Amino acid sequence: MDRSSLFQLIQEQLDPENTGFIAVENFTSLVEDHELQLDPSKLDMLLALVQSNEDGQVCYQELIELMSSKRSSSFRRAIANGRRTLQREILLDETGLGLYKRFVRYVAYEILPCETDRRWYFHQNRLCPPPVFIAIVTIVQIIVFMCYGIMLNKWVLQTYQPDFMKSPLVYHPGHRAQVWRFFSYMFMHVGLEQLGFNALLQLMIGVPLEMVHGILRISLLYMAGVLAGSLTVSITDMRAPVVGGSGGVYALCSAHLANVVMNWAGMRCPYKLLRMILALVCMSSEVGRAVWLRFSPPLPSSGPQPSFMAHLSGAVVGISMGLLILRSYEESLQKQCSWWVIVFSFITFLLFAIFWNIFAYELLGVQIPPPP
């Protein structure tokens, strides 16, 4: 029985009056009398949804969304509060998996805190579309760094080379009218150490997040961190340039770490405490290195060195917007009031930053270093 025929059967036989609800007894008999071509995990969830309903009814629309691979928050609450425990073995006990499926299972346990969500992701995962956003960003960053490294014949502390700061990609307060620089600075890096740190975290954390939550949500989070980073520097460190993708990287990392902490008991990633400590130490060390380069540059320079504020603003974006995104796996963000509060706050910050960049520099008499 194909899906369209099944939907028609459910509506005609179990909800002929189009009330929008189906009696539990009628649906149970449908499951027992007809072959449903669904994977076992989805069938278990259907039965759990039926048996957890206290009113003896199943919402027809919710049932259709589930069978169409769409999940709703009400369905998740029904599963979480249901009286029936899903009977299938947990993913770690499944054997005979291929290399790709084992990797998908690994990603599920790295990112998701609930066994029901992990099983849902494992059975619903498709290779198309692949997680290409983080990979493309990382490849472009490496290519740009290699080009400037060869051109300048310098692989560390490239910002001390005047030709580096002349790049049309670097954010410089003297060129803030060139709007693309508020984004394009993420492709430039101080040196090999910053590029290596950012690329490693992007691939280790960003790719699994993109596999689970999709390219749209993770790219939105990453770019929001990048934009917040340059705008924050333009407000709080008005004479400093910005380079590096740390705003986006810290948005991803902070969101993931906060999600792990808030769902500590449910996370099943191995050595999570040790890995949490190492991640915090590495991130703190990178911020400390950026502060040192900003205020105590080891070499003479013609102007201020890149600011560290992009790291901090990226972390704020991750803890606010990013945490909500990661906690809303397979749920609609548009239906959540907290999502619109965060969007409104970000837009307010964006408008304030725009007016600040237009008027504040002149009103405050800020002496901007001459643009290269």
pLDDT digits (tens, 9 = 90+) for 128-165: 778 899 999 999 999 999 999 999 888 888 888 888 88
Higher pLDDT, 65 or 18: 18
Higher pLDDT, 107 or 298: 107
Strands 57-59 and 21-23: antiparallel
Query: How many C-beta atoms lie closer than 10 Å to residue 367's C-beta?
Result: 9
pTM: 0.81
pLDDT at residue 85, rounded to an integer: 43
Contact of 251 with 318, CB cutoff 8 Å: yes
Contact of 155 with 149, CB cutoff 8 Å: yes
pLDDT at residue 37, rounded to an integer: 53
* Mean pLDDT on 9-23: 67
pLDDT at residue 316, rounded to an integer: 96
* Mean pLDDT on 220-248: 95
pLDDT at 92 over 60: yes
> Please, what is the Cα angle at 146 between 184 and 228, to 5 degrees?
20
pLDDT at residue 87, rounded to an integer: 44
CA distance 282 to 205: 14
pLDDT at residue 368, rounded to an integer: 84
What is the set of active-site residues?
Answer: 246, 311
Rounded (10°) CA dihedral 271, 275, 277, 283: -170
Q: Is 18 left (phi over 0), alpha (psi -120 to 50) or beta?
A: left
CA distance 167 to 163: 7
